[in-house]
Amino acid sequence: MNETQSRDLMVELAASLFARGFAVGSAGNISMRVDDGFLITPTNSSLGRLDPARIAKLDHAFHHVSGDPPSKEVFMHRAFYVTRADAGAIVHLHSTLATAVACLPDVNTDNPIPPLTPYFVMRVGRRLPVIPYFRPGDPAMEPAIKAAAPDARAVLLANHGPVVSGKTLLDAVYAAEELEEAAKLYLTLRGSAPRVLTPAQVNELLETFG
């Protein structure tokens, strides 16, 4: 995929997330690797109406080289890229139900959502650490994400929302969508005692689908 196609795909998928309510206002940001650096959504832009020509471009050292000023959460994306060689794209959302789980004080902060469905496990993986609260744009978030990311494709920022990595932009978007669905199931079933996938079933999924 060349850079023009990457920009167009970012606009298309961001608009799709926005249209379905996974992002509102100017919340959320998306980035992806390209040959000579990274593309990232501009700060204060709406995922619903991105302009491909104005998407910010960063070099390999995460310095802004062109386009509008980048998201104030560049360091949040950088924390995944420098920690996970397999990360080709990052999606950060304030999607309602994943964020609701991130507001619950009594969850397991290593893995707040149990393995209820195969696609949650296949897309998001075995662990979803909850990172303590930092204000949006606080660079102190970076070391906290870096500490968690080697063992996790995604994290939940307390009282803020999910950050999800994927090998490709499509993978990261699909994972963010599955995370929101898993949060919905978890909150729907909270208080009951649902059957969850066994450790052997989780292992089989990860061995089969990676």
**What are the residues binding ligand 13P (CB under 6 A)?**
26-29, 41, 43-44, 71-73, 92, 136
Please state the closest distance from residue 162 (CB atom) to ligand 13P, in A: 11
Nearest distance, CB of residue 201 and ligand 13P, angstroms: 34
Mapping DSSP to helix (H, G, I), strand (E, B) and coil, where does residue 124 land?
helix
CB of 207 to ligand 13P, least distance (A): 35
Q: How far is CA 199 from CA 78, 126, 202, in A?
A: 31, 10, 5
For ligand 13P, the closer of residues 27 and 90 by Cβ is 27
Residue 26 vs 96, nearer CB to ligand 13P? 26
Q: Which is nearer to ligand 13P, 77 or 115 (CB)?
A: 77
Cα–Cα distance between 24 and 121 in angstroms, integer? 26
Asked if residue 177 lies in contact with residue 188, where contact means CB atoms within 8 angstroms, the answer is: no
Provide φ and ψ at 58, rounded to 5°: -115, 150
- Ramachandran angles phi, psi of 186, nearest 5°: -60, -45
- Pick between residue 156 and residue 205 the one whose CB is nearest to ligand 13P: 156
CA triple 35-12-102, angle to 5 deg: 90
The residue number with the shortest CB distance to ligand 13P is 71
Under DSSP, the state recorded for 70 is B
Q: Which residues are catalytic?
A: 73, 119
Rounded Cα gap, residues 41 and 133, in angstroms: 23
Those residues with Cβ within 8 angstroms of residue 70's Cβ, 6 or more apart along the chain or in another chain: 40, 41, 42, 43, 56, 58, 64
Nearest distance from C-beta of residue 1 to ligand 13P, angstroms: 23
Run of H or E including 147: helix 141-148
Give min distance, CB of 189 to ligand 13P, in A: 28
Instruction: Give whichever of 30 and 205 is closer to ligand 13P, judged by the CB atom.
Output: 30
